[in-house]
Amino acid sequence: MNTQQKIIDTAISVFNENFSATFEEIAVNCNLNRRTLHRYFKNRNELLEACNANMMKAWEETAIKACNSSTNPLIQLENLLYAGIDSGTKYAFLIKLNEVEPAYTTEISKDYLKARSNIFSAIVTLQKEQLIDSTLPLTWIRILFTSVITATITAYRSGDIAPNEVKKLAWNSFSRSIGLVLNKQNDTFFFNDRPVQYGRTWLRERSSAYF
């Protein structure tokens, strides 16, 4: 790992614990003096911009990976939720900062936009197939999705819920909110009391409809 990336990673960790941390505190945690830190970043704001760019790059990569993890849109959604939780936990201070007012802008890659478009199209198809509540607007589902991620990050950082349980709780909450109920014994979802296979044999006859 090069020095610049080490500074960014350290700053992310420090700012998550104390967003008001000074440039000097970042330098100390990097085992560098302030003069050396200034060789890479002119000031605190430039360092924050680098942290934001790092977050967006990492998020795009993990989101694309999640969307490409399966041809099953439900598995894609689940993995995307987990990716959002992981990213949000690591970059909690930046997410809070951007929630109030977008502080930094980063160009979004075409690959990410394509993956996002595909997952949204898959959601619409799931609604048409009556596997997701069709009365929920896509915008509402997106809000539910991000809200569950935010709540999960808060729960994780509070320490009140076991880390190994928090992701499954998040997925169960989100899936139920869009009209899916999981029968844990056989990996089957129920929509309007109709069983929908979720595991490896998930709706083979419909698998080609999504992509």
The answer to whether 29 and 22 have CB atoms below 8 angstroms apart is no
Query: Any idea how long the chain is?
Result: 211
Q: How far apart are CA 98 and CA 187, in angstroms?
A: 37
26: closest CA among 52, 40, 7? 7
77: closest CA among 27, 28, 123? 123
Kindly report, residue by residue over 121-137, the tens digit of the pLDDT. Answer: 888 988 888 888 999 99
pLDDT of residue 104: 59
80/106: higher pLDDT: 80
178: closest CA among 147, 203, 209? 147
**pTM for the structure as a whole:** 0.75
Q: How far apart are CA 37 and CA 27, in angstroms?
A: 6
